[in-house]
């Protein structure tokens, strides 16, 4: 429902400098379409880059009324609060947006279209898009993606929120720079909002999760030539005790290559420091072993981890390069930060080269 050309206002109340605002922050970093304003009363009037470090010229305003003169068409909830419920100040501006003739998009578990007041305020020519809904018509996965001629790259992470989506979007931009047709399959709320389509994996019943991924990959590949590349956003991590997303992603996408994503210097699950991460070499072997099963006999060679995307956002440039070099030597794999440019070369280009190598 959300098109690339829709002018967006982000409902980011209290989320410009907090992890609760990760959805909106991801849109500010990666959405190519227009974002005309960000609503965050705590930072109204502040410079967006000074607050977030994101080099994008978007005004920060106090409320929906202040954003209306800038011409938004869609209000997007940029928060991912604990429990997935809409905070009251955000709901007030969401209601004001609908009454002003804007459409509303949300990735929260709470379905805004089920709210009687919000539903009544939505004009006939507008919409409320609750993207975290199970797609209709799902079937159990049947490894159909294995028959696709296009390359299929799945991002697998050592933890949640280490940059799997950002790595895939950076690879897509690198593919576009060299004229390689590609499709990005969003599997979380930010990725779906940025791309306008995808599958909300955490809203799908477990028996149909791999089938939902399979359907999205098949659909994404339809518009690509045989030499194209499908980039599948990873979710969660095999290392996290609360995550189950990696298996349906592997089964549904039937990847031809894996991209491991890791945060430099991280040795435990970030929000569960009592849970250690295994050595990266062991995790590479585990992911490759899982990717090698539940595949048709004619599917070709099983997927290997072709490269490691290293999140070095917390490091200075010299420290980042040292971390990249150390992991590349440790694993004997190409390694780069896909969001950094080193010596005039995009890290995403280095990773793309590795993924394209037979």
pLDDT of residue 159: 97
- Give the DSSP letter of residue 261: E
Burial readout 142-155 (b: 16 or more C-beta within 10 A, e: otherwise): eebbbebebbbbbb
| Biggest alpha carbon–alpha carbon distance for the chain | 60
pTM (2 decimals)? Answer: 0.94
220 contacts 233 by C-beta, under 8 angstroms? no
What is the rounded CA–CA span in Å between residue 66 and residue 295?
Answer: 54
The whole-number average pLDDT for the span 102-122 is 95
Beta strand 345-346 with 151-157 is unpaired
The predicted-structure confidence for 301-357, as pLDDT tens digits, reads as follows 999 999 999 999 999 999 999 999 999 999 999 999 999 998 788 999 999 999 998
What is the rounded CA–CA span in Å between residue 279 and residue 18?
Answer: 30
What pLDDT band is residue 81 in, cutting at 50, 70 and 90?
A: confident
230 contacts 220 by C-beta, under 8 angstroms? yes
Residue 358 has pLDDT above 80, yes or no: no
- How many helices (H) and strands (E) the chain has is answered by 12, 16
CA dist 104 → 264, 329, 354 (Å)? 37, 48, 40
**Across-strand partners of 183?**
230
- Give the DSSP letter of residue 42: G
- Among 145, 182, 139, 153, smallest CA distance to 299 is for 145
pLDDT of residue 20: 87
- Give the DSSP letter of residue 228: -
Question: Using CA atoms in the order 324, 329, 330, 331, what is the torsion angle rounded to 10 degrees?
Answer: 90
Mean pLDDT for the chain overall: 96
The whole-number average pLDDT for the span 141-157 is 98
- Among 332, 340, 338, 331, smallest CA distance to 353 is for 338
pLDDT of residue 80: 82
CA dist 222 → 72, 150, 172, 217 (Å)? 32, 10, 17, 9
pLDDT of residue 228: 98
The predicted-structure confidence for 244-289, as pLDDT tens digits, reads as follows 999 999 999 999 999 999 999 999 999 999 999 999 999 999 999 9
């Amino acid at each position: 429902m959300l098109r690339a050309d829709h002018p967006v206002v982000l409902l980011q109340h209290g989320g410009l400098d907090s992890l609760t605002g990760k959805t909106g922050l991801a849109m500010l970093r990666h959405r190519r379409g227009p974002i005309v304003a960000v609503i965050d009363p705590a930072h109204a009037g502040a410079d967006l880059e000074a607050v977030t470090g994101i080099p994008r010229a978007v005004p920060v305003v106090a409320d929906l009324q202040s954003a209306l003169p800038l011409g938004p068409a869609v209000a997007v909830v940029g928060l991912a609060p604990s429990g997935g419920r809409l905070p009251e100040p955000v709901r007030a501006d969401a209601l004001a947006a609908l009454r002003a003739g804007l459409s509303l998009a949300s990735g929260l578990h709470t379905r805004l279209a089920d709210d009687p007041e919000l539903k009544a305020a939505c004009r006939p020519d507008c919409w409320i898009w609750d993207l975290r809904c199970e797609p209709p018509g799902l079937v159990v996965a049947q490894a159909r993606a294995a028959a696709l001629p296009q390359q299929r790259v799945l991002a697998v992470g050592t933890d949640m929120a280490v940059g799997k989506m950002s790595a895939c979007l950076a690879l897509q931009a690198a593919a576009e720079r060299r004229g390689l047709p590609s499709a990005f399959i969003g599997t979380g709320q930010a990725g779906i909002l940025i791309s306008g389509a995808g599958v909300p994996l955490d809203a799908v019943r477990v028996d149909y999760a791999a089938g939902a991924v399979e359907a999205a990959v098949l659909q994404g590949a339809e518009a690509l030539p045989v030499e194209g590349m499908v980039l599948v956003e990873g979710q969660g991590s095999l290392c996290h005790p609360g995550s189950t997303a990696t298996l349906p992603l592997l089964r549904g996408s039937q990847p031809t290559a894996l991209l491991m994503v890791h945060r430099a210097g991280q040795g435990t699950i970030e929000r569960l420091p009592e849970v250690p991460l295994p050595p990266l070499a062991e995790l590479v072997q585990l992911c490759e072993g899982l990717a090698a099963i539940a595949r048709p006999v004619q599917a070709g060679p099983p997927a290997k981890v072709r490269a490691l995307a290293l999140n070095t956002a917390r490091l200075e440039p010299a420290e980042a390069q040292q971390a990249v070099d150390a992991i590349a030597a440790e694993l004997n794999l190409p390694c780069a930060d896909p969001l950094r440019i080193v010596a005039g070369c995009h890290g995403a280009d280095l990773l793309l080269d590795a993924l394209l190598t037979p």
